[in-house]
Structure 1
Amino acid sequence: MNPKDSDTLSDVAGDPAPTPHATAEQVEAALKDTKLAQILYHDWEAESYDDKWSISYDKRCVDYARNLFDATVPPEELRELPYDRALELGCGSGFFLLNLIQAGVARRGSVTDLSPGMVKVATRNGQNLGLDIDGRVADAEGVPYEDDTFDLVVGHAVLHHIPDVEKSLREVVRVLKPGGRFVFAGEPTSVGNTYARSLSTLTWRVATNATKIPGLEGWRRPQAELDESSRAAALEAVVDLHTFDPDDLERMARSAGAVDVSTSTTEFTAAMLGWPLRTFEAAVPPGKLGWGYAKFAFTSWIGLSWIDDNVWRRVVPKGWYYNVMITGVKPS
């Protein structure tokens, strides 16, 4: 896609329709086509994505998004907020940008994603919050906006889905105004991904097998839902293309033309707890666990995150943390 051909991409009303339930044949085709896999998997997840990842647009996630932003951006720049116009790349349900706008980071925003289903959900979430948001279905390797359009570009858990990360970062730098900043968070480190995926896989196997035991059948999702989750998991293995070493990610950003590039990392023991908990939640019927479990999961994650930031950070290498965040600036 030529990034200048913005008139070839319509607004949400004219975008392709989502595919909320991929067939076995579509999954088979997607296993050989990375971008088709991205579309099918994220369309599949779109309507349930916020529930799956405990995403909200209230104080809890507003504070979380703002804390990620503040941990990444130099303190002196935080005093000059808000940015006027922001773009979220690979928006998903809009979690990062919508909560950042509510936190006072930007006044208005645009959301893009390769998945029509995600763009639909993100723009709907923005409208429900009364925010100034527009959306487009778009490839992150060919962002459909003119040069020097945005003051800020953000993304959360998106870079690891993009085949050519450096090409996408070049597009990010292109659409930023001179002096504009990008912030990407929620990207898996190479070490962190190893232990997170291993714990998640083990939890899924234990939970789905334990619920076959007589007396525990009420904790088991219907087999059709488990089969659908397994097909989604097969696509997930295709759409997760990269893990990152923080230093390598910085080098890619500089090669893409950014300056003042830096990375930071979050979640070490918090990820070791969070991934099994989220996997367990996905393996049992919705609503089965209740408020007490939700409170336990959230407060435990908060506590371990504090320990990670204030204790383990002194002795654990940066690259061992699960999430890496990166920021940079377009040269003035």
Structure 2
Amino acid sequence: MKQEPTEASPRDAVGISAESGREDVKVHPDDPAPNPHATEAEVEAALKDTKLAQVLYHDWEAETYDDKWSISYDERCIDYARGRFDLAVGPAPLPYERALELGCGTGFFLLNLMQGGVAKTGSVTDLSPGMVKVALRNAEHLGLDVDGRVADAETIPYDDDTFDLVCGHAVLHHIPDVELALKECLRVLKPGGRFVFAGEPTTVGNFYARKLGQLTWKVTTEVTKLPFLSGWRRPQTELDESSRAAALEAVVDLHTFDPSDLEKMAKSAGAVDVKATTEEFAAALWGWPVRTFEAAVPDEKLTIGYRMAQYRAWLGLSWLDENVLRKVVPREFFYNAMITGVKPGAVQK
């Protein structure tokens, strides 16, 4: 969960206008086209097929995902991505020559890591054709050397010993067989190569975050029914759509993780030098209600001043988490988990 408002639209950050947002980018000829308008029958089928649900849900969200989560490709998110990498890995010789992002979404993690000096070139994969298209478009506008494929994380379409780094953000909890995906990561890594995954929900953290989100949604949508607060209420059709999206989101969110279990899974997959780290306790207790409130009210009510105030609050609480609460609160109580490991063999950058 990230509370990181930006002063400008993420589209502006990469020079993509609303009118040009669907322009063509170079995609692999064997990859399917995005399907952002699923039929009712497809949605019904997706409720029983998690991988179909992943595709439909993320194709539907691809063109608006950066705006929804306040994702940008400027200093703010570069610092955030690099900070997650440094927290998970510690000091490391940089840059890596070639990196792969698994479950790339719009490219948030890899593209910002590349801008932050972590990798020179990259590849992106996602089960959603829409997300791959947007990630490649973002990379093109940033002038980054990136290729991409529509791909299942359990069968990565690259040769053995191809990458120096495999990374991902908020992706493992969407994958049915996480250990198999980690084995695939190790297969495509060069000997001594490293994987880094961040933004994964812990079991305890997910419990309180969901409860806080549900309570905030209920209170906000009920209170804004009052006549004198009607201007703070989204149209009912938008609220209904958000509720349907939340129902499908429950289908695509498959796992939560205990940090110790995540370490065992990575070691079982064959990794060495495995370490799980967690972050965001006070920041998550604050951030989830704030994000849910923002989703329930009209965008025009959320001024730049408000957004920056929330961002500063998130930064302050994150500092509290890192410098105080980490010393006294068990790691499994923090919301976000990160896992890193190395493929056995010669040391690579």
The aligned residue for residue 161 of structure 1 is: 174
The CA deviation string for residues 272-302 of structure 1, in whole angstroms up to 9 with x for no partner, is 1111111111112223211111011100000
Q: TM-score, normalised by structure 2?
A: 0.89
Task: Find the residue that maps to 1:155 and give its secondary structure.
Answer: strand
The aligned residue for residue 65 of structure 1 is: 81
* Whole-angstrom CA distance in 2 between matches of 1:24 and 1:275: 30
Query: Which is further off, 217-226 or 38-47?
Result: 217-226
Q: TM-score, normalised by structure 1?
A: 0.94
* Whole-angstrom CA distance in 2 between matches of 1:127 and 1:274: 32
Query: Which is further off, 223-232 or 313-322?
Result: 223-232
Match of 1:112 among 110, 113, 125: 125
After superposition, residues 1-332 of structure 1 pair within 5 angstroms as: 11-12=27-28, 14-75=30-91, 77=92, 80-332=93-345
1:203 Cα shift? 1.1
The CA deviation string for residues 243-294 of structure 1, in whole angstroms up to 9 with x for no partner, is 0011100111111111000011100010011111111111122232111110
* Whole-angstrom CA distance in 1 between matches of 2:240 and 2:29: 32
Task: Find the residue that maps to 1:287 and give its secondary structure.
Answer: helix
* Whole-angstrom CA distance in 2 between matches of 1:289 and 1:231: 23
- Which amino acid letter does the alignment assign opposite residue 277 of structure 1? V
Unaligned stretches of 5+ residues in structure 2: 1-25
Unaligned stretches of 5+ residues in structure 1: 1-9
- Which amino acid letter does the alignment assign opposite residue 281 of structure 1? E
1:12 Cα shift? 4.1
The CA deviation string for residues 34-82 of structure 1, in whole angstroms up to 9 with x for no partner, is 001111111111111111111111000000100110111132x2xx200
The alignment-based identity, stated in percent, is 73
1:196 Cα shift? 0.4
1:206 Cα shift? 1.4
Residue pair 1:83, 1:152 contacting (<8 A) in 2 also: yes
* Whole-angstrom CA distance in 2 between matches of 1:241 and 1:184: 16
Runs of 4+ in 1 over 6 A off after TM superposition: none
The aligned residue for residue 5 of structure 1 is: none
* Whole-angstrom CA distance in 1 between matches of 2:56 and 2:240: 16
* Whole-angstrom CA distance in 1 between matches of 2:236 and 2:259: 40
1:219 Cα shift? 1.8
Q: Give the root-mean-square deviation of aligned CA atoms.
A: 1.3
Task: Find the residue that maps to 2:274 and give its secondary structure.
Answer: strand
* Whole-angstrom CA distance in 2 between matches of 1:15 and 1:287: 38
- Which amino acid letter does the alignment assign opposite residue 282 of structure 1? A
